[in-house]
Amino acid sequence: MTGPRLTPLAASLPATVPFVGPETQERQRGRPFAARVGANESGFGPAPSVVQAIRNAAPDAWMYGDPESHDLRHALAAHHGIAPETIVVGEGIDGLLGYLVRLLVGPGDSVVTSDGAYPTFNYHVAGFGGTLHKVPYRDDHEDPEALVVRAAETGAKLIYLSNPDNPMGTWHDAETIARTIAAVPEGCVLLLDEAYVEFAPDGTAPPIDPSDARVIRMRTFSKAHGLAGMRIGYAIGHPELILAFNKVRNHFGMSRLSQQAALASLADQAHLAGTLQRVASARSRIAEIGAANGLRALPSATNFVTLDCGRDGEHARALLAALVARDVFVRMPFVAPEDRCIRISCAPDAELDIVAEALRKALAELR
């Protein structure tokens, strides 16, 4: 009896998980975390109106979601002042990344990203046989100019750039991003991941222009809208590229409850504004906690703060382990020199009180 016959490509890849979830860690540890501040979720939660919309939709959960996400696409189009034909909805940005790579990247095709940027994108590229070319961060920022130069050198079909950035929380202004789009080599597409853009200062995102085939922008309801568990993302791009998603996407990937949750959240802009204020306050609090313990906070345009631990990756990993041992779930960048830092998600004060005490004790232990 033979086993499964994996493709040579699949057989060559390691069966790894880019992020070990807090639930997995809790099972391994035998107890829950007291502060869940590692995954950049919104501890402030969705709007009450969204919770009610989910309750209202629950009796209809026996039905598949609309495979075209018609109502949500049209609501997003009205919100952004663009045509519905320039929007595709998918299972979070993670799902959309996979569809885009599947559309554009085949075995041996070159793709450019930053060394240490969002690793799930890299998994998709590897899974479809693409060749990743990486450039380093510069001053804790992704380096748009270096990305474009590397793309021209390698004949890349796709460039990944997040703005604001994960895992550092830094950002570029709209003028820099516009220059980057203008410099994209012929035959290449810039994938602009804007998962955190709602938290960023005015002037971070250039105007949306779906007629420009050089760029596709991805956004999410996971962060500012507090709906990470519902898996709702969307991409904005040239109509021809957006239409091509229908060739490969999971047409029943969006649940009916997720679609209704997103519609309700998009309509409740007052709650979104309140969340942005709470996140800004939490960023300041995390920076103060870091400073009180001798750690420098990097400027952040996201719902997390990256704290520079002042030494190297070995020290930061030891600090992270000491925090986990004190029931605080945090994460850190993977690649040097950014791995000298740890990253703390914004959360309500009660959780940040726990973080403050745990950080003080963890650093004392390491000394």
- pLDDT by 10s per residue, the chain, length 367: 688 999 999 999 999 888 899 999 999 999 999 999 999 999 999 999 999 999 999 999 999 999 999 999 999 999 999 999 999 999 999 999 999 999 999 999 999 999 999 999 999 999 999 999 999 999 999 999 999 999 999 999 999 999 999 999 999 999 999 999 999 999 999 999 999 999 999 999 999 999 999 999 999 999 999 999 999 999 999 999 999 999 999 999 999 999 999 999 999 999 999 999 999 999 999 999 999 999 999 999 999 999 999 999 999 999 999 999 999 999 999 999 999 999 999 999 999 999 999 999 999 999 8
- Strand-strand pairing, 189-193 and 87-90: unpaired
CATH of 20-45+270-366, one of 3.90.1150.10, 3.10.620.30, 1.20.1250.20, 3.40.50.12780: 3.90.1150.10
Is residue 54 a contact partner of residue 247, using CB atoms and an 8 Å limit?
no
Q: How many CA atoms lie within 13 A of 37 on its CB side?
A: 33
Taking alpha carbons only, the member of 36, 22, 25 closest to residue 355 is 36
Is residue 137 a contact partner of residue 143, using CB atoms and an 8 Å limit?
yes
Q: Give the pLDDT confidence score for residue 3 in this predicted structure.
A: 85
Q: Give the pLDDT confidence score for residue 79 in this predicted structure.
A: 98
- In sequence order, what are the residues at sequence separation of 6 or more whose Cβ sits closer than 8 angstroms to the Cβ of residue 183? 145, 148
Q: What's at 135, amino acid-wise? A: V
- Strand-strand pairing, 131-135 and 110-114: parallel
Q: Give the pLDDT confidence score for residue 16 in this predicted structure.
A: 87
Q: Give residue limits of the domains in the chain.
A: 20-45+270-366, 50-267
Q: How far apart are CA 162 and CA 130, in angstroms?
A: 20
pTM: 0.96
CB atoms within 10 A of CB 168: 27
Q: Give the pLDDT confidence score for residue 2 in this predicted structure.
A: 81
- In sequence order, what are the residues at sequence separation of 6 or more whose Cβ sits closer than 8 angstroms to the Cβ of residue 212? 181, 238
Q: What string of DSSP letters covers 255-295?
A: -HHHHHHHHHHHH-HHHHHHHHHHHHHHHHHHHHHHHHTT-
Structure tokens at 322: 């000491």
CATH of 50-267, one of 3.40.190.10, 3.60.40.10, 3.30.420.40, 3.40.640.10: 3.40.640.10
Q: Give the pLDDT confidence score for residue 1 in this predicted structure.
A: 66
Chain centroid to CA 244: how far?
Answer: 23
Structure tokens at 203: 């002037």
